[in-house]
Amino acid sequence: MIPAAFEYHAPASLADAVKLLGQHGDEAKILSGGQSLIPLMKLRLATPRHVVDINGIAGLDYLKEEDGVLRIGALVREADLEDSEFIRARYPLLHDTSRVVADPLVRNLATVCGNLAHADPANDHPAAMLALGAEVVATGPRGERRIAITSFFTGPFATALRGDEVLTEVRVPVPLPRSGGAYLKLERKVGDFATAAVAVQVALDPAGTCVHAGVGLTNAGTVPIKARRAEGFLRGKPLDDATVRRAGELAAEEADPVDDVRGSAAYKRDLVRVLTARALRLAAGRAGAGR
């Protein structure tokens, strides 16, 4: 559990970081929270020759609502979401998610943006961001560009980021009126990656009809999954028991899990069904409570 030798860089500005990435190409890796990268390096599954630590760059740790979006900077830690009363009240889905990522020690360091950039289908934030319809900001040598979350995850551990880009921000649209969200995760023990998990975000009209629904699935396929059929089914319906159950079935059909040590594909698929229905009930309750 000792990593191979590497060179360590600690740029003080974003521009320097981008430059280092440009110089070293495939041989460089960004280090943010380090909670995925360092374990991989210790196991020598990752052997970057250059590690570019972005923790010394000022001004990347903002968490604020501005111009209709929640902006989460690259150095916002899971613990920042977990500890924020504002996030708990207004973005319950994000709050739920941050609380079940790993354990408190990991959450003190792990970043939300790193959780997306790492693109592990078992990571929790990708599904949450899919349910929320987020957008990612990438900063490279030619400046910033925005990437819709739906086109960000291109494969297992692969994203639309270029080698010389830093993921500098994730943007979450501010919630519609009468919104609620929830994240439910089944893990073998605390701190484990999900056997399966479901993120939902819904908005209701004054009569209680669902006007917006986002459903994201964690560890239910080789990439994070947006359960579009379940989402489409929910829109325009009251979130009664039959509806949420049916949505659970649809989400389960959209899941594409495999057998592994966490359980059989059939088990995981059924968990998606059960958890989707439960999460929708919880989210609908939260949306109603804010009415």
Partner 1 sequence: MVPRTPPEVGGMGHSVKRKEDARFIRGKGTYVDDIQLPGMLYLDIVRSPLAHARITKIDTSKALAIPGVLAVITGADLAKYNLHWMPTLMSDTQMVLPVEKVMYQAQEVAAVLATDRYIAADGVDAVEVAYEPLPVVVDPIKALAPDAPVLRTDKTDKKDNHIWHWEWGDRAATDRAFAEADVTVRQDIYLPRIHVASIETCGCVAHFDRVADKLTVWMTTQAPHAIRTVFALVAGHVGLAEHKIRIISPDIGGGFGGKVPVYPGYVIAVAASVLTGKPVKWVEDRMENLQADSFARDYHMTCELAARKDGTLTALRIKTIADHGYADAAANPSKFPAGLFHICTGSYDFQAAHVEVDGVYTNKPPGGIAYRCSFRVTEAVHAIERMTDLMAHHLGMDPAEFRLKNFIRPEQFPYRSALGWEYDSGNYAAALRKAMDRIGYAELRREQAEKRQRGELMGIGISSFTEIVGAGPSKHFDILGLKMFDSAEIRVHPTGKVIARFGTRSQGQGHETTYAQIIAEELGIPVADIQVEEGDTDTAPYGLGTYASRSTPVAGAAGAMAARKIRDKARKIAAYLLEAAEDDLVWEPGRFSVAGAPHRFKTIQDIAFAAYTNHPQGMEAGLEAVSYYDPPNLTYPFGSYICVVDIDKGTGQVKVRRFVAVDDCGNIINPMIVEGQIHGGLTMGLAPALYEEIAYDENGNIQGGSFIDYLLPTAVETPRWETDKTTTPSPHHPLGAKGVGESATVGAPAAIANAVVDALWHLGVRHVDIPITPAKVWKLLREKGVSE
Ligand X SMILES: Cc1cc2nc3c(=O)[nH]c(=O)nc-3n(C[C@H](O)[C@H](O)[C@H](O)COP(=O)(O)OP(=O)(O)OC[C@H]3O[C@@H](n4cnc5c(N)ncnc54)[C@H](O)[C@@H]3O)c2cc1C
Neighbours of 249 (CB within 10 A): 16
Do 249 and 151 form a contact (C-beta atoms < 8 A)? no
Q: Please identify which residue in 9, 20, 24, 34 interacts with ligand X, judged by CB under 6 A.
A: 34
Instruction: Say which DSSP state 263 is in.
Output: B
Query: Which amino acid is residue 193, in one-letter code?
Result: F
d(CA 180, CA 92): 7
Beta-bridge partner residues of 51: 8, 29
d(CA 41, CA 47): 6
Total residues at the site for ligand X (CB under 6 A)? 28
* Shortest distance in whole angstroms from residue 14 CB to ligand X: 10
> Binding of ligand X at residue 114 (CB under 6 A)?
yes
* Shortest distance in whole angstroms from residue 97 CB to partner 1: 17
189 binds, among ligand X, partner 1, none (CB under 5 to 8 A by kind): partner 1
Query: Which amino acid is residue 145, in one-letter code?
Result: R
Of residues 51 and 251, the one with the C-beta less far from ligand X: 51
> Tokens for 229?
């059929």
Phi and psi at residue 169, in whole multiples of 5°? -160, 150
Instruction: Mark residues 28-67: x for contact with partner 1 by CB under 8 A, - for none.
Output: ----------------x-----------------------
Instruction: Say which DSSP state 46 is in.
Output: -
Query: Which amino acid is residue 241, in one-letter code?
Result: D
Instruction: Mark residues 1-30: x for contact with ligand X by CB under 6 A, - for none.
Output: ----------------------------xx
Instruction: Compute the Cα dihedral for 85, 86, 92, 95 and give only its sign.
Output: negative
Instruction: Say which DSSP state 116 is in.
Output: H
> Tokens for 56?
């010394």
* Shortest distance in whole angstroms from residue 118 CB to ligand X: 4
> Binding of partner 1 at residue 2 (CB under 8 A)?
yes
Using CB under 8 A, which residues numbered 77 to 136 contact partner 1? 103
Query: Which amino acid is residue 76, in one-letter code?
Result: V
* Shortest distance in whole angstroms from residue 233 CB to ligand X: 27
Instruction: Mark residues 188-227: x for contact with partner 1 by CB under 8 A, - for none.
Output: xxxxxx-x--------------------------------
Do 224 and 155 form a contact (C-beta atoms < 8 A)? no
By the criterion CB under 8 A, which residues form the site for partner 1? 1-2, 4-5, 44, 103, 186, 188-193, 195, 261-264, 267, 270-271, 274-275, 277-278
Q: Which residues bind ligand X (CB under 6 A)?
A: 29-37, 39, 74, 101-102, 106, 110-111, 113-115, 117-118, 123-124, 161, 166-167, 191, 193
